[in-house]
Chains A and B, each alone.
Chain A
């Protein structure tokens, strides 16, 4: 690399660090906070080895292994527990941070035309890429040292200096690896979104390859950098050589990226950019078709996420009884009648949690209409032969279908995983019924969103506050013994908590009627009000 092409690299790096100072601080604080708070919470929740062994038992199933990787379940100390349940997932988040930051300073800068501006100064051709790499090495280094030393300073018995440092360094090394990978992707494609998409896909791919490997064929995990993360066996045998693999891989990726950057033109890439469609397909050509197309990626991601949530809750059902028997703190969260089994009570809480999560994409689907209005894109439709009623109906339809689909997927996931780990699986119909009983409450949330969009679009985010309120009062309601009226302010408070309670039709019917009235009123309001914009 000729010296000249690196001119001003150091200065550039300082500028980048300055530009991102808040972003970096927020990322680091959040990552380090969670890294340090979890082992503390674990020692609070599972003070005795007995508690931890019970936890280890619930973790001993393929779904958990697929999600968090293999762990030292034989010696499930606080350290082993933290490394098992947190290290891999934190490493994935660190990978994401690096992808975002790296792409932001490479292909995004180039696409926005700022690279051209910078290159016109006496700044080397490779300075920006190298400065970005250096910046991320600094950030990941800080993360590694602070979290490593921090973990040690917690003073938890099973978390020694060597293991703690290794824990931190693995996070940092994983980060540098994905910085290198994103740097390379930024050279290959011409377009910032594709660079981000490719990097993220690769991150998810190495995660899933490892998941399959960990469950079925351990040698498969060896081709995945995230597989190396769990092979380190932190707080166990502490395999330091894993760091060599990660950092070695990172520097190879960086070297290739720098070479490719050196031989290419500004704005050019190595992968051919694919031309888009010149004509629209028939499916797109209606308000509902357009709305579906705009939400497609989001809906698919949420659907996968809901199945995943259901599966992971379901996979721990097998050992729940013994787990709750031995844990006082968790028993309090449930705090139900004594005659029903813990598993049943747990399922009824899960139903509420999953229903609430399923409400998020459904409400987002209808709120999208508001977003489109703010971006002045609604006028393209209303300026043509599309009535307001037809437009808002399209969004309501999508939201209503979305809600039932998300509920169904998460509950089905719960049942499938639950059935595979328990000896006497639940009746499928009963579980689906328990989940779908929440549908009217979800509809009330959609109805409220429609009502606000119709009459007070500026206040429409109130619906999120209301949803958050519902979560807090119902989830923590048992623990803190709130009075009844507090939870009765939320539609979710009226839903019978099946399977521990009997189905009650009256509240469900009344909620549906309320939802309908809100939605119809909202639609009338939407017809009468001014469309905002400009």
Chain B
């Protein structure tokens, strides 16, 4: 059963549809990547899921309960990390972490707190006004991962972290998943999503324009190939599903539609293959394909 599920979720501000008929679901034990550029509707969706905004139409439920009506009950079992963490300037980081853990209203795991403070190399004795953006995010991340939640909702949680801390964050996410927890990770750091997520949904202008596992998504796009052959390859242009042919001396680089891969490789092999490299499309390729060239209008 899905831990988190939305059906035709829509949120309007005035006449502007910030979120438009969104359907997503997060299963138990999976990391769901929610990707899209700034202003696409990621944060609005998350704020609806947290019961801060009331959906205009459609439904959203977590643990089978309505996110608006049962917010408090649901929040006992989730942990949320916002992208922009604003803290109280005159409280220390340690005080805020304790406050956040306590307000979830369940038992507080002190050892886990200390362990995470150690791992994130965080100094909890300073006032929040002195923390950089990354340090404020650490406060929120430590409080989230120190709590024994069933679902983690993370809204661009790493935009201020350095690469080492980013790695620590990824370890925390993977540990949580290994313990059977579910994670909704909103991000525009695509390498992070690629590393962590089992399934992704790409959102644009308030709509989900693509969703599925990374493998499924890759299947829909092209593979990049570089080949060198004994004889000059001919007739490539006439094959179906071949794009962007670029010949540099001996070496040819081309893009191939995944479903035509077999036919193309057979064709090339007739000319005596000396070298063949193929790379699956990166998430960035997927992403760019949706955003380049067809901005505006229906996707």
- Contact status A385-B103, CB under 8 Å: yes
Whether, in the assembled complex, A290 has its beta carbon less than 8 Å from a beta carbon of chain B, the answer is yes
A529 and B13 CA atoms in complex are apart in Å by 12
- Contact status B98-A279, CB under 8 Å: yes
State whether A384 and B95 are in contact (beta carbons under 8 Å apart), knowing that A278-B124, A528-B54 are contacts in the complex. Answer: no
Whether, in the assembled complex, B257 has its beta carbon less than 8 Å from a beta carbon of chain A, the answer is no
Chain A residue contacts of B71, Cβ below 8 A: 382, 387
Chain A residue contacts of B54, Cβ below 8 A: 528-530
- Contact status B103-A384, CB under 8 Å: yes
Name the contact of B95 in the complex, choosing from A277, A380, A382 (C-beta under 8 A): A277
Whether, in the assembled complex, B16 has its beta carbon less than 8 Å from a beta carbon of chain A, the answer is no
State whether A275 and B125 are in contact (beta carbons under 8 Å apart), knowing that A384-B75, A384-B100 are contacts in the complex. Answer: yes
- Contact status A277-B100, CB under 8 Å: no
Q: How many residues of A contact B (CB 8 A)?
A: 33
Chain B residue contacts of A18, Cβ below 8 A: none
Whether, in the assembled complex, A375 has its beta carbon less than 8 Å from a beta carbon of chain B, the answer is yes
Minimum distance in angstroms from B133 CB to a CB of chain A: 13
- Contact status A530-B105, CB under 8 Å: no
Name the contact of B72 in the complex, choosing from A385, A531, A533 (C-beta under 8 A): A385
Q: Whose C-beta in chain A lies nearest to the C-beta of B105?
A: A385
- Contact status A382-B50, CB under 8 Å: yes
Whether, in the assembled complex, A122 has its beta carbon less than 8 Å from a beta carbon of chain B, the answer is no
Chain B residue contacts of A286, Cβ below 8 A: 102-103
**Could you give, for residues 38-78 of chain B, a 1 whenever the CB lies within 8 Å of some chain A CB and a 0 otherwise?**
00000100010011111000000000000000011101100
Q: Whose C-beta in chain B lies nearest to the C-beta of A530?
A: B53
- Contact status B92-A277, CB under 8 Å: yes
- Which residues of B (163-218) have their CB < 8 Å from a CB of A? none
Whether, in the assembled complex, A381 has its beta carbon less than 8 Å from a beta carbon of chain B, the answer is yes
State whether A290 and B99 are in contact (beta carbons under 8 Å apart), knowing that A382-B71, A387-B72 are contacts in the complex. Answer: yes
Interface centre among A191, A275, A379, A385 (most CB of B within 10 A): A385
Name the contact of A382 in the complex, choosing from B52, B73, B84, B104 (C-beta under 8 A): B52
State whether A278 and B52 are in contact (beta carbons under 8 Å apart), knowing that A376-B86, A377-B88, A382-B71 are contacts in the complex. Answer: no
Q: How many residues of B contact A (CB 8 A)?
A: 39
Minimum distance in angstroms from A406 CB to a CB of chain B: 22
- Contact status B47-A285, CB under 8 Å: no
Chain B residue contacts of A284, Cβ below 8 A: 91, 95, 98-99
State whether A285 and B98 are in contact (beta carbons under 8 Å apart), knowing that A275-B125, A376-B84, A385-B75 are contacts in the complex. Answer: yes
Chain B residue contacts of A285, Cβ below 8 A: 98-99, 102-103
Whether, in the assembled complex, B82 has its beta carbon less than 8 Å from a beta carbon of chain A, the answer is yes
Whether, in the assembled complex, B127 has its beta carbon less than 8 Å from a beta carbon of chain A, the answer is yes
State whether A276 and B103 are in contact (beta carbons under 8 Å apart), knowing that A385-B72, A528-B54, A534-B43 are contacts in the complex. Answer: no
- Contact status A280-B99, CB under 8 Å: yes
Chain A residue contacts of B140, Cβ below 8 A: 380
Chain B residue contacts of A383, Cβ below 8 A: 50, 52, 75, 80, 82
A533 and B84 CA atoms in complex are apart in Å by 10
- Contact status A377-B125, CB under 8 Å: no
Chain B residue contacts of A277, Cβ below 8 A: 92, 94-95, 125
Whether, in the assembled complex, B126 has its beta carbon less than 8 Å from a beta carbon of chain A, the answer is yes
Whether, in the assembled complex, A294 has its beta carbon less than 8 Å from a beta carbon of chain B, the answer is yes
**Could you give, for residues 256-275 of chain A, a 1 whenever the CB lies within 8 Å of some chain B CB and a 0 otherwise?**
00000000000000000001
Name the contact of B47 in the complex, choosing from A294, A387, A531 (C-beta under 8 A): A531
Whether, in the assembled complex, A458 has its beta carbon less than 8 Å from a beta carbon of chain B, the answer is no
- Contact status A380-B52, CB under 8 Å: no
Chain A residue contacts of B106, Cβ below 8 A: 385
- Contact status B92-A379, CB under 8 Å: no
Chain B residue contacts of A529, Cβ below 8 A: 54
Whether, in the assembled complex, B87 has its beta carbon less than 8 Å from a beta carbon of chain A, the answer is yes
Q: Whose C-beta in chain A lies nearest to the C-beta of B140?
A: A380
A191 and B50 CA atoms in complex are apart in Å by 37
Chain B residue contacts of A191, Cβ below 8 A: 130
Whether, in the assembled complex, A293 has its beta carbon less than 8 Å from a beta carbon of chain B, the answer is yes
A384 and B80 CA atoms in complex are apart in Å by 8
Whether, in the assembled complex, A386 has its beta carbon less than 8 Å from a beta carbon of chain B, the answer is yes
Interface centre among A285, A381, A528 (most CB of B within 10 A): A285
Chain B residue contacts of A534, Cβ below 8 A: 43, 47, 84
A533 and B92 CA atoms in complex are apart in Å by 23
Name the contact of A379 in the complex, choosing from B72, B82, B104 (C-beta under 8 A): B82
- Which residues of A (454-480) have their CB < 8 Å from a CB of B? none
Q: Whose C-beta in chain B lies nearest to the C-beta of A375?
A: B86
- Which residues of A (232-290) have their CB < 8 Å from a CB of B? 275-280, 284-287, 290
Name the contact of A276 in the complex, choosing from B92, B98, B105 (C-beta under 8 A): B92
Minimum distance in angstroms from A85 CB to a CB of chain B: 36
Minimum distance in angstroms from A43 CB to a CB of chain B: 47
Chain B residue contacts of A293, Cβ below 8 A: 91
- Contact status A278-B125, CB under 8 Å: yes
**Could you give, for residues 165-200 of chain A, a 1 whenever the CB lies within 8 Å of some chain B CB and a 0 otherwise?**
000000000000000000000000001010000000
Minimum distance in angstroms from A479 CB to a CB of chain B: 44
A12 and B45 CA atoms in complex are apart in Å by 50
- Contact status A280-B95, CB under 8 Å: yes
Chain A residue contacts of B127, Cβ below 8 A: 276
Name the contact of B86 in the complex, choosing from A377, A381, A384 (C-beta under 8 A): A377
A278 and B114 CA atoms in complex are apart in Å by 11
State whether A386 and B72 are in contact (beta carbons under 8 Å apart), knowing that A277-B92, A280-B99, A284-B95 are contacts in the complex. Answer: yes
Chain A residue contacts of B105, Cβ below 8 A: 384-385
State whether A278 and B51 are in contact (beta carbons under 8 Å apart), knowing that A376-B84, A384-B103, A386-B103 are contacts in the complex. Answer: no
**Could you give, for residues 183-219 of chain A, a 1 whenever the CB lies within 8 Å of some chain B CB and a 0 otherwise?**
0000000010100000000000000000000000000
A533 and B83 CA atoms in complex are apart in Å by 12
A164 and B79 CA atoms in complex are apart in Å by 67
Q: Whose C-beta in chain B lies nearest to the C-beta of A192?
A: B129
Minimum distance in angstroms from A223 CB to a CB of chain B: 33
State whether A280 and B82 are in contact (beta carbons under 8 Å apart), knowing that A379-B50, A528-B54, A530-B54 are contacts in the complex. Answer: no
Chain A residue contacts of B47, Cβ below 8 A: 379, 531, 533-534
Chain A residue contacts of B51, Cβ below 8 A: 382
- Which residues of A (494-534) have their CB < 8 Å from a CB of B? 528-531, 533-534
A293 and B128 CA atoms in complex are apart in Å by 14
Q: Whose C-beta in chain A lies nearest to the C-beta of B81?
A: A383
A280 and B125 CA atoms in complex are apart in Å by 10
Q: Whose C-beta in chain A lies nearest to the C-beta of B73?
A: A385
- Contact status A276-B94, CB under 8 Å: yes
Q: Whose C-beta in chain B lies nearest to the C-beta of A378?
A: B52
**Could you give, for residues 292-303 of chain A, a 1 whenever the CB lies within 8 Å of some chain B CB and a 0 otherwise?**
011000000000
Please list 20 pairs of residues, one from A and one from B, whose beta carbons are closer than 8 Å in the complex, sorted by A's number: A193-B129, A276-B94, A276-B125, A278-B125, A280-B102, A284-B98, A285-B103, A286-B102, A290-B88, A294-B88, A375-B86, A376-B82, A379-B52, A380-B100, A380-B140, A382-B51, A382-B71, A383-B80, A384-B100, A385-B73
Residues in chain B within 8 A of chain A (CB atoms): 43, 47, 50-54, 71-73, 75-76, 80, 82, 84, 86-88, 90-92, 94-96, 98-100, 102-106, 124-127, 129-130, 140
Residues in chain A within 8 A of chain B (CB atoms): 191, 193, 275-280, 284-287, 290, 293-294, 375-377, 379-387, 528-531, 533-534
- With contacts A286-B102, A382-B75, A387-B71 known, what are 5 further pairs, Cβ within 8 A? A284-B99, A380-B87, A382-B51, A384-B104, A530-B54
